[in-house]
């Protein structure tokens, strides 16, 4: 039941903007893809952070001031030095890199 509430509140799974079935179906598939991605990220989070809601994860991990820098053959992401949840972001990034 909580999974359904999270899908509706965090991913707007129940929202149908279009009168077209195909457009609404495509929106639902994208919502499910986002839900699965966040569920995967929750499994990689440290134990203290596992119960976070989607809005909180979005705020802590995805709403980060940064700049993409191209130099030579590298593409780097330069994050703000004032980002409060920098350690959480890098912990999650290290766990994702350890998977491969």
Write down the mean pLDDT value for the chain. Answer: 83
Q: Is 92 exposed, middle or buried (0-12, 13-18, 19+ CB in 10 A)?
A: buried
Whether the per-residue pLDDT at 10 is higher than 90: the answer is no
Compute the 3-state secondary structure of the chain and give helix, strand, coil in percent, each to the nearest 5.
Answer: 60, 10, 30
Whether the per-residue pLDDT at 100 is higher than 80: the answer is no
Q: Where are the domains of the chain?
A: 1-98
Top-confidence residue, 6 or 97: 97
**Predicted confidence (pLDDT) per residue in 32-62, tens digit:** 888 888 888 888 888 888 778 888 888 888 7
- At 16, the pLDDT band (50, 70, 90 cuts) reads confident
At residue 63, the pLDDT reads: 79
């Amino acid at each position: 039941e909580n999974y359904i509430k999270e899908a509706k509140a965090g991913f707007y799974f129940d929202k149908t903007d279009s009168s077209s079935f195909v457009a609404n179906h495509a929106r639902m598939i994208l919502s499910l893809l986002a839900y699965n991605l966040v569920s995967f990220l929750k499994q990689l989070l440290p134990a203290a952070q596992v119960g976070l809601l989607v809005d909180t994860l979005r705020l802590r991990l995805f709403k980060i001031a940064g700049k993409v820098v191209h130099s030579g053959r590298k593409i780097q992401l330069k994050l703000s030095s004032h980002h409060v949840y920098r350690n959480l972001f890098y912990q999650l990034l290290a766990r994702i890199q350890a998977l491969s």
